[in-house]
Chain A
């Protein structure tokens, strides 16, 4: 379990089985996933606990994560199975709590509530 950006949040989980390429797949001002080939096409990441296996694609995606926060369209927190530098640096610049853990990613259920609190011994749990 790696806490990459500290913080806490409680919300409904939006879970993806496939990686997310923030640059190109997510609208930076609304949070809607616009990539027609993505399983979450048409859904919004705004106000969710976003769980996904890893980031993908362009390193400029870090700016997309920052923009989501600046536009009020960001997830409350993110949980990745494997973090990469693009997602980690984007969340760090935006101040979005980020935990990297296969186990935490596995226990989260799409549509159910979850709690992320990096000050706890178990930072990610189902509510």
Chain B
């Protein structure tokens, strides 16, 4: 990879230890991806915020970095482990809370906004006019490349952190606008949001960096989000190109049978102890829609809704009045709030959520939202 003189100096340690560590990370990742050089980025979204996922060594790493590192560009962060407003109710161990607060503090000291969201595209101002960014949350990276006129690698926690520190990221073929390397032809009519999640999960295994999805028409925002969430979970793919293809890459079909095969992997329970909505976290539109559909009724089962703090408002008030636990700053994935000790199984419409809940030992009953509302509102 070609570096400028300033970049070479920083890599040699001339700009301090934090910059040196950051350039080492960017060069290793850039070489791995076949990047030619580094490009400026205007925004970094950081993963590695939940204490459950990075643990004590990660917490110490960030505390060390925060002594000298300061972010050069706008930086926002993924969800952490709990909602501070309600953490008392969940009986989390004190060492977890101490570790989590240390992580939040370190990111804050370095200059991150306390966004704690995995759906930044729903609540943050996107860079006007598009451009190069570095997003480590996989569903957000795919959403950015596919629907937000932005360019990002599917960044790792460390490359996004290094980009926040240096303001740069490897210029990979993907950033340069490389076309799809595989195509998925949808062979079913009007898939719902659950089926779009299954489709994303399927397509993430078919494509390497970028995948064309044909035969889907123009999915709404909820379906687009489900596509990104499913795809980010299953593979390395970082971009969806919707529309009919030119037959320029390998194509596979996705119909009822393929959807059922993916669903069978993740639909591991029949019913559950609670309903879990919001993986990725629900945005303002989804919350307003949910509140309207709930109307004057109440859930007959415990219902946990995850959303960004910035999306709270009349809709979340309505949902709380209907008996929902509305949680901000955290999400369903690897959450210490939904453990196998607390729940044998849960009901959700999220493929991404189902994957991570199962990985943590909580079985999942996958149902579309329409079925969940039909079955559990009284």
Interface residues of A (CB under 8 A from B): 2, 4-5, 23-24, 28-29, 56, 58-63, 66-67, 70-71, 83-93, 98, 100
Contacts and interface: CB of A to CB of B under 8 A. Distances in A.
B28 A92 contact: yes
Interface in B41-91: 47-48, 53-58, 60-61
Given A63-B58, A83-B32, A88-B31, A24 B159 contact: no
- Majority secondary structure, B binding face: helix
Given A2-B32, A63-B48, A84-B236, A93 B55 contact: no
A60 B47 contact: yes
B138 interface: yes
A28 B53 CA distance: 10
Interface of B: 21, 24-25, 27-29, 31-33, 47-48, 53-58, 60-61, 136, 138, 153-159, 162, 235-236, 359
Given A2-B32, A92-B28, A66 B156 contact: no
Given A2-B31, A85-B32, A60 B153 contact: no
Nearest to A90: B158
Contact of A85 (B54, B60, B154, B359): B154
Contacts of A29: 55
B53 A23 contact: yes
Contacts of A24: 359
A45 to B, nearest CB: 15
A66 B31 contact: no
B109 to A, nearest CB: 19
Contacts of A92: 24-25, 27-29, 158
A92 B153 CA distance: 18
B158 A93 contact: yes
B57 A100 contact: no
Nearest to A28: B55
B155 A85 contact: yes
18 contacts: A2-B32, A23-B53, A59-B138, A59-B155, A60-B47, A60-B156, A62-B158, A63-B48, A63-B53, A63-B57, A83-B31, A85-B29, A88-B28, A89-B25, A89-B159, A92-B28, A93-B21, A98-B28
